[in-house]
């Protein structure tokens, strides 16, 4: 029993549980945004609110391909909303926050004549002055 308790109280299990709960809540927000705002906007432009009424019948069995089209459109809209409103801004924020360390310089300025010389040079090639190490 103590092993099970230790497993449950490990940090990564709790982090995973919190991530799943937040992911479900965020999924509901995105689904609501697409269902309540984006889909009606597309319906207003396209003239047809949904395709649920589309079906065909084979041997008295209804094949509701309209529902599948609705689900496919909802999936594409949700994916687009997540990409444009979450992924792209997050990537831009990461790029802004990510600073590359400055490259190790390969040259330095001569202390006497200020010309560029290799950083390991002991004398300046232009003025022959000794360089500090």
Alpha carbon distance 126, 133 (integer Å): 18
DSSP 66-117: HHHHHHHHHHHHHHHHHIIIIIHHHHHHHHHH--PPPPPPSEEE-TTT--EE
CA-closest candidate to residue 80, choices 123, 39, 19: 39
The per-residue pLDDT for range 15-32, each reduced to its tens digit, is 788 789 888 998 888 888
The per-residue pLDDT for range 32-61, each reduced to its tens digit, is 887 788 777 877 877 777 777 888 999 999
Alpha carbon distance 100, 10 (integer Å): 34
**High-pLDDT (> 70) share of the chain, %:** 96
Residue 127: DSSP 8-state:
T
The per-residue pLDDT for range 95-106, each reduced to its tens digit, is 888 877 777 788
């Amino acid at each position: 029993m103590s092993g099970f308790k230790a497993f449950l109280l490990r940090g990564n299990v709790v982090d995973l549980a919190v991530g799943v709960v937040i992911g479900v809540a965020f999924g509901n927000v995105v689904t609501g945004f697409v269902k309540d705002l984006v889909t009606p906007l597309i319906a207003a432009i396209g003239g047809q609110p949904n395709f649920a009424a589309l079906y065909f019948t084979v041997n008295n069995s209804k094949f509701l391909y309209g529902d599948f089209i609705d689900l496919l459109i909802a999936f594409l809209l949700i994916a687009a909303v997540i990409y444009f409103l979450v992924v792209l801004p997050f990537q831009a924020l990461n790029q802004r926050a990510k600073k590359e360390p400055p490259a190790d310089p390969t040259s330095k300025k001569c202390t006497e004549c200020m010309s560029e010389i290799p950083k390991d040079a002991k004398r300046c090639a232009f003025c022959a002055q000794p360089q500090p190490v």
